Amino acid sequence: MHFSQEILQYLLSGLATGAIYALIGIGFAIIHNSTGIINFAQGEFVMLGGMFTFFFLTALKLPLILAIILAIGCATLVGITFERLAIHPLRNATPISMVIITIGGSILIRGLAMLLWGKETHAVPAFSSSEPIHLGEATLLPQHFWIFALTALAILGSKLYFNYTVSGKAMRACAFNSRAAGLVGIDVKRMILFSFAISSAMGSIAGIIIAPLTMTSYDVGIMLGLKGFCAAIIGGMSSGLGTVFGGLILGILESLGAGLVSSGYKDAIAFIILLLLLLVRPQGLFRKGETERV
């Protein structure tokens, strides 16, 4: 394979991986903008999406589409339960306490998943054919196109929801100024619950569409969650295009680094980028305007 072919291959693979990071990162941003909390349990909803799909396919022998729908529903229900039991009762806790709570929730969810499904790595079937598709001098699997399409639909759906629905506009108002939103009659607590439901659903979608390529297990959410967090930081914690670009940039740089330097540095690249960004531009590359909370 010529050098130009290799670069094209790395770019396409990086875009697919970056789309996953963007979807996870938007989940981080939605919760942060609504509550000010960094939810480090977000990666576990990615894991639950893949694991629930595997469970419904193998234990209950359900069709793939039904298994996916139920997996998203179950992961969303876990997200709602987590918010009601762990976040809602402690809304007045300090930011560091809330971060510790989300880390504890992540450990709990991961431990329960290990007890339920074991430590084995599980395979989820591809959504369609596994025959490679040639794009010029590069090749992609059909699952990569599912990743592009479903990620784009999820991001577009969230954009339409936040811009054109009453509850979406209410959530944006809470993100802008939760106190003012409460004064005009918006139920801030309900909006926070909605933010956890939406972010857990988006995380589970990311876990489902990537599972046929990487397989799934009880601990896959740790690294995917951290890389989604990196994408959100690069995007300035924006729940829009900033985080999408952040995820794509991260995916491409990771793919190029792994291919041209060494695959052993694949996971380290994300955190090197994060550290450099925090040193040079801590507000992120695509920071959106935000109001200081008082």
Residue 185 Ramachandran class (φ > 0 left, ψ -120 to 50 alpha, else beta): left
SS3 category, 133? strand
Residue 238: CB atoms within 10 A of its CB come to: 23
- SS3 annotation, 19-83: HHHHHHHHHHHHHHHHHCCCCCCHHHHHHHHHHHHHHHHHCCCCCHHHHHHHHHHHHHHHHHHHH
Q: What is the pLDDT of residue 124?
A: 94
Amino acid (1-letter code) at residue 179? R
* Separation of alpha carbons 16 and 144, rounded Å: 6
Model confidence over 49-101: pLDDT tens digits? 999 999 999 999 999 999 999 999 999 999 999 999 998 887 777 878 888 99
- Confirm if 224 and 155 have CB atoms less than 8 A apart: no
Q: Is the pLDDT of residue 118 over 90?
A: yes
- Please name every residue paired with 134 in a beta bridge, in sequence order, or none if there are none: 139
Average pLDDT of span 14-28: 94
Sorted by sequence, the CB contacts under 8 Å of residue 200 that are 6+ apart come out as 27, 42, 45, 75, 76, 78, 79, 80, 82
Model confidence over 224-281: pLDDT tens digits? 999 999 999 988 887 778 899 999 999 999 998 888 887 777 788 888 888 888 888 8
